[in-house]
Chains A and B, each alone.
Chain A
Amino acid sequence: MKETPLSNCERRFLLRAIEERKRLDGRQTYDYRNIRISFGTDYGCCIVELGKTRVLGQVSCELVAPKLNRATEGILFFNLELSQMAAPAFEPGRYLNLFLKLLYISDVWLKISKMIYLFKIHFQVWQIRVDLHLLNHDGNIIDAASIAAVVALCHFRRPDVSVQGDEVTLYTPEERDPVPLSIHHMPICVSFAFFQQGTYLLVDPNEREERVMDGLLVIAMNKHREICTIQSSGGIMLLKDQVLRCSKIAGVKVAEITELIQKALENDQKVRKEGGKFGFAESIANQRITAFKMEKATIDTSDVEEKAEEIIAEAEPPSEVVSKPVLWTPGTAQIGEGVENSWGDLEDSEKEDDDEGGSDEAILLDSIKMDTGIEVSDIGSQDAPIILSDSEEEEMIILEPDKNPKKIRTQTTSVKQEKAPNKKPVKRRKKKRAAN
């Protein structure tokens, strides 16, 4: 689906508002939208909402052979998927530029930051896979994705492993509690949108603001104020003190966000330990008109079996349209006979197949006329599948090759009609080839 273009008056309005230091949703220039983190029942599953932008993150792990050039390091595989749900324009194949850019940014900051230490286990390493799905696009995908990835990795528990000499034992979650990943630090991306050739800047742009911005600056930082990545896109030219100012703002924001993440992780841990309810079901609000919850509902199925038998007894037997499988040669069988041949009616709108098809037909026609077909009637009356010996024909088919075999399709309206006769010559040909 095509993206609805932004109208000129909307663009002008947004830019004028930004000049006056006003944002559509009432935020200040350096304000982030509300961040909401919810966890699922599996470890490593989380949904992060940055305002209305929603990202689902899931971490999974597996033991694999290491890469040849990095034999001692684990593998971190990162996948950000822009689901078609997120925006109507996110069709597979379209929007490749935005997608690749996002992927590159995300990949770069995550890998470079080396936030996870993955060790080698006796010729095998852990491959950690982070799958992020964008569910709703309301701007600032990169920040939301980075928060989701960090939260999911911190929440994830991998199976416990013990190595004794040459023996490696992988414990299931039932045998031993899964172990969290060893995480050095948590890099969070902060995005800055620039307008009017770098004059004005906004933190955490939403979708409308992203549409009118000139360029984007992304700084990935951790709470120790270490910059992991800086990326500038859009061709804006920034001054040194602008970049410094942005990094200072980023430091403050990252500290706040990291604190929020820690709190969310602690809460979830506490709930799980105490045996309370956790998971996405709990994050659905009660008493809301658009939400509905229903507790476990027992269903009385005691008399279902009697009812079922009643139905079977009362029902009429099915009609006797039973066809046995017909075995042509070992490996080729036929069930049913197909529909009536309607070639005669559609002579005018016959489509010409390729020349090869046409010549094939001509050759086979001769062979048919020479064959004396064995009529296999009453296929349905026997019990066992029918095995035919050779030169089997169900019915004699006399094709008329001299009646304009090279008809060019003239009508374009009745596409479906033409498809039907096309199928039948193919069917017949296959049967004959199997027979010969």
Chain B
Amino acid sequence: MEEEMHTDAKIRAETGAGSSPRGPGCSLRHFACEQNLLSRPDGSASFLQGDTSVLAGVYGPAEVKVSKEIFNKATLEVILRPKIGLPGVAEKSRERLIRNTCEAVVLGTLHPRTSITVVLQVVSDAGSLLACCLNAACMALVDAGVPMRALFCGVTCALDSDGTLVLDPTSKQEKEARAVLTFAVDNVERKLLMSSTKGLFSDAEGSAPSTNQSLPRSSSSAWLRPRRLRNTSSASTGNRCRGVTPRAETSWGRGPLPPPPPTHPLQPEANQRPSLASRSYGLM
């Protein structure tokens, strides 16, 4: 694929032009994706980021139980299964995050009184699991032909004790970091769909990853674009989320954020993002 080669060439050119002061940590691990590998689900995808691997299967739009049906849109359900043991609270909270992200992009009103089920199976976990799950879910929804208004992708960043930003951390890097942040961004308007943070970080550090995560996102979207089967409408959903706030643990889907504590008066607006992606990548 020409576009793929072009992407690779561009990346190599960028790295050749001097190493960034942020250090060698800023690179995405080798990633791979395969679609339509299972015969029973309507759509399936396997997403690998380094050694982390997640398999996603989508059933839908299909029949829904009367207790769960919503009269004007589809009921989206996300099930995340860990590899060892029974699913616990951590899986439930990740399921909720992924479900909120998917609900923001899936055009559920086109299929009222149906159910769209996304089943995720963790095949191996070596860091950035939530981002990998988000990516696998998106690819599986695309493979199933579920109408969406945008594609989305997930990226995890880790901030270690001296403020160095590491993208797509491994489990060892995640353990040693003082803050781990995961973001989900859509690719039509580059808006922040979901943000899940753990740890301690300041304002500026928090907004830095949310600005630069558009870069890794565009590399995964580079392939998503030619594969996109549906025209996504340009109508904004109004997913205006504020930037991250310094809290011990925050996670939210779309919708207004809780008011920040008074000691930090300024908060960045996530949608006032500069055209950083277009400058250094020039893909979109």
Chain A residues with a Cβ under 8 A of chain B: 1-2, 40-42, 45, 47, 52, 54, 56, 58, 60, 81, 83-88, 129, 131, 133, 135-138, 279-281, 284-285, 288, 290-305, 307-318, 321-323, 383
Q: Give the distance to chain B from A318, nearest Cβ to Cβ, in Å.
A: 5
Q: Do residues B124 and A42 form an inter-chain contact, with CB atoms below 8 A?
A: yes
Q: Do residues B211 and A308 form an inter-chain contact, with CB atoms below 8 A?
A: yes
Q: Give the distance to chain B from A355, nearest Cβ to Cβ, in Å.
A: 27
Q: Do residues A135 and B26 form an inter-chain contact, with CB atoms below 8 A?
A: no
In chain B, what residue has the closest Cβ to A59?
A: B84
Q: Do residues B40 and A137 form an inter-chain contact, with CB atoms below 8 A?
A: yes
Residues from chain B with Cβ under 8 Å of A136 in the complex: 38-41
Q: Do residues B262 and A322 form an inter-chain contact, with CB atoms below 8 A?
A: yes
Q: Decide if B188 is an interface residue (CB 8 Å cutoff).
A: no
Q: Do residues B121 and A311 form an inter-chain contact, with CB atoms below 8 A?
A: no
A323 touches which one: B4, B7, B259 (CB < 8 A)? B259
Q: Decide if B59 is an interface residue (CB 8 Å cutoff).
A: yes
Residues from chain A with Cβ under 8 Å of B55 in the complex: 56, 85, 135
Question: What separation, in Å, do the CA atoms of A314 and B266 have in the docked complex?
Answer: 9
Q: Decide if B229 is an interface residue (CB 8 Å cutoff).
A: no
Residues from chain A with Cβ under 8 Å of B117 in the complex: 1, 84
Q: Do residues B48 and A280 form an inter-chain contact, with CB atoms below 8 A?
A: yes
Q: Do residues A307 and B276 form an inter-chain contact, with CB atoms below 8 A?
A: yes
B124 touches which one: A41, A288, A310, A318 (CB < 8 A)? A41
Question: What separation, in Å, do the CA atoms of A296 and B15 have in the docked complex?
Answer: 11
Q: Do residues A318 and B34 form an inter-chain contact, with CB atoms below 8 A?
A: no
Chain B residues with a Cβ under 8 A of chain A: 4, 7-8, 11, 14-15, 20-22, 26-41, 44, 46, 48, 51, 53, 55-57, 59, 62-63, 79, 81, 83-85, 115, 117, 119, 121, 123-124, 126, 165, 167, 203-204, 207-209, 211-212, 215-216, 219-220, 223, 242-243, 259-262, 265-269, 272-274, 276, 280
Q: Do residues A299 and B27 form an inter-chain contact, with CB atoms below 8 A?
A: yes
In chain A, what residue has the closest Cβ to B264?
A: A318
Helix, strand, loop or mixed for chain B's interface? mixed
Ordered nearest first, which 6 A-B pairs have the shortest CB separation?
Answer: A85-B57, A302-B20, A85-B119, A298-B27, A308-B208, A293-B32
In chain A, what residue has the closest Cβ to B208?
A: A308
Q: Do residues B123 and A1 form an inter-chain contact, with CB atoms below 8 A?
A: no
Residues from chain A with Cβ under 8 Å of B209 in the complex: 304
Residues from chain A with Cβ under 8 Å of B243 in the complex: 311
Instruction: Apart from A42-B124, A84-B119, A298-B26, list 19 A-B contacts with CB within 8 A.
Output: A45-B83, A47-B123, A54-B38, A56-B123, A83-B119, A85-B119, A88-B41, A279-B124, A280-B123, A284-B48, A294-B8, A294-B30, A298-B27, A302-B20, A302-B21, A303-B276, A304-B22, A307-B276, A308-B204
Q: Which of B15, B31, B37, B40 has the most CB of A within 10 A?
A: B40
B83 touches which one: A54, A131, A313, A316 (CB < 8 A)? A131
Question: What separation, in Å, do the CA atoms of A298 and B28 have in the docked complex?
Answer: 6
Q: Give the distance to chain B from A46, nearest Cβ to Cβ, in Å.
A: 10
Residues from chain A with Cβ under 8 Å of B259 in the complex: 318, 321-323
* 15 A–B contacts, CB within 8 A, in A order: A45-B123, A85-B56, A85-B57, A133-B83, A135-B38, A281-B48, A284-B34, A285-B34, A292-B33, A292-B223, A294-B8, A294-B32, A299-B216, A307-B276, A316-B269
